[in-house]
Amino acid sequence: MSDNAQLIEEMRWQLKQIENRKAENQRLLAGIAGSGHTTVVSPDRSVTVLAGPDGVVSEVRLAPEAMRFDAVTLSRTITAAVREAVAAGVKPSAQPPRQAAPRRPQRPAPADDDPYDTVFDI
């Protein structure tokens, strides 16, 4: 009888662990949803991409139906979804745009006796 009681206790402990993991996953998902992440789903619903507010892709999910596509179709679908998610995830910065660096003055033209200059300024 004590073996049954021990098994029941073990099962209760495992259920508690599962509940704790489930609560932690819910907390993490709520944090992702509340932090400005963007989710993009391909038109055929085979690819889902999650990108952060800085445009960094944090997750790519493939539906089981995606495995039916050939490699070219699947790669195009993934690429299109990633591009859309990155573009949606990038927010315009609050800082004013930076001014372009001033141009360097050009070098004077070489003298007539040296028509070919072998040094290039970049």
How does pLDDT run across 43-75, given as a tens digit for each residue? 999 999 988 877 888 889 999 999 999 999 999
For tokens 């704790």, the residue is 20
Residue 54 is predicted with a pLDDT of 79
| pLDDT score, position 38 | 83
pLDDT score of 94: 42
pLDDT of residue 97: 44
Which residue positions in the chain have pLDDT lower than 70?
Answer: 1, 30-35, 91-122
pLDDT at residue 101, rounded to an integer: 52
Integer Cα distance of 97 and 83 in angstroms: 23
* CA–CA distance, 101 with 108 (Å, rounded to integer): 21
- Chain CA centroid to CA 64, Å: 21
- Residue 76's alpha-carbon distances to 40, 46, 56, 93, in angstroms, are 15, 12, 19, 29
Q: For residue 27, what pLDDT is reported?
A: 77
